[in-house]
Amino acid sequence: MKKNILMLAGPTAIPEREIKAMDRQIIFHRSEEFEEISKELGANLKKVFKTRQEVMVLTGSGTGSMEAAITNCFCAGDEVVAVELGVFSARMADMAEAFGLKVTRVKKPYGEVAAVEDVMPYVNENTKGVFVIHNESATGVTSDLKAFGEALKDTGALLVADTVSGIGALDFAMDDWHIDVAFASSQKALMGAPGISVICLSDKAWKASETSTLPKFYFDLRKARDFGLKGQHPWTPAIYAIIGLNESVKMIAEEGIDNVVARNTRLSEMVSEKLGSLGIRRFAKDPSYASKSVNTFFYDKSPAFVKRLREEYGIQIYNGQADLHDTTFRVGTMGYVAETDVAAFLYAAEKIITEFEQR
Ligand SMILES: Cc1ncc(COP(=O)(O)O)c(C=O)c1O
């Protein structure tokens, strides 16, 4: 007999309380009941983002919000600087190019981050935006967003942060860190069902949206904000996923976002300490920026290890992304992961690794 334990880089496990909330007849999205749900979700998301701004809830995964960030705040021909650390940060640079922006990429080898000092030499008075990934899920590294906010706050450039696998697991403070655009997906540390993304804009970004000329319609954020203020959505939203996300974000608000982040940090440290004692090292070049939500490790037997964990123990982690598939594995400690799940993973990992290394 085995029990399923999900410790993926996403989608993450859905709390039973959320499953129960979704187990009901559909509600009309223009009803008062759904308005209340939308308003409650919006209020709790503000606590998670640590912002006084509205947080818009879009139907569409994180890549949809990434597109909304670009099409609502920029114009074709705008010069932007994009940090590229792995496939997800590369996606944002690729997308910006697809929309006609002029992108200067600051690339780092896999497993490293770009520091403010690496990026600022490329920022000048023509720079309209700097794209920084909070947590690169492909390589397991975390950028110092706070430092980027400090460096960019008095410039004409917007700081655009992909925090898809950051918010809800790692420290994040939209307003205090001077972040201009931040977006995330439902299916990571926010513990929701896939299909929803959330996005927040600073005053500086809303101002840029007034002059943005890129085509936008489905993901028009001004429309989303105006409807959102009334607990409404411009189009038929993914109603069940929103009901679910409301429940999971309520759980985060009840526990307190700082306590949730502290719990995730503790679980991440449990994982790296135990795996370290078994000779398995983090992929991040420097432990100071190793991701604590998508914990990524070197292991030349990763595919076999991941398969044994799943087939023998029902524990789902996953291999590294793209080129890193065979040499790394990623363990999600974000979201609905308990200390006992981590203990079960480490118990099984020790057995498998010890057996592999004795061969
Ligand atoms: C850091 C990061 N950015 C963007 C995305 C894309 O999000 P989605 O798959 O929700 O479109 C992901 C998905 O894993 C991600 O990890």
User: Which domains does the chain show, CATH number per domain?
Assistant: 5-12+256-358 (3.90.1150.10), 16-254 (3.40.640.10)
10 within ligand 1 shell (Cβ under 6 A) = yes
Is residue 359's pLDDT more than 80? no
Amino acid at 66: M
Residue minimizing CA distance to atom 7 of ligand 1 = 62
Is residue 2's pLDDT more than 90? no
Predicted confidence (pLDDT) per residue in 295-310, tens digit: 999 999 999 999 999 9
Ligand 1 atom nearest to CA at 197 = 10
Contact 55, 46 (CB under 8 A): yes
* Closest by Cα among 286, 245, 304 to 38: 245
Q: What's the rounded mean pLDDT across residues 12-24?
A: 98
Q: What DSSP string runs through 111-171?
A: T----HHHHGGG--TTEEEEEEESEETTTTEE--HHHHHHHHTTSS-EEEEE-TTTBTTB-
pTM: 0.97
Residues pairing with 182 in the sheet: 161, 200
Predicted confidence (pLDDT) per residue in 79-125, tens digit: 999 999 999 999 999 999 999 999 999 999 999 999 999 999 999 99
Is residue 159's pLDDT more than 80? yes
Is residue 57's pLDDT more than 80? yes
Give the span between the Cα atoms of 190 and 57, in whole angstroms. Answer: 13
Give the span between the Cα atoms of 33 and 318, in whole angstroms. Answer: 39
Ligand 1 atom nearest to CA at 138 = 16
63 within ligand 1 shell (Cβ under 6 A) = yes
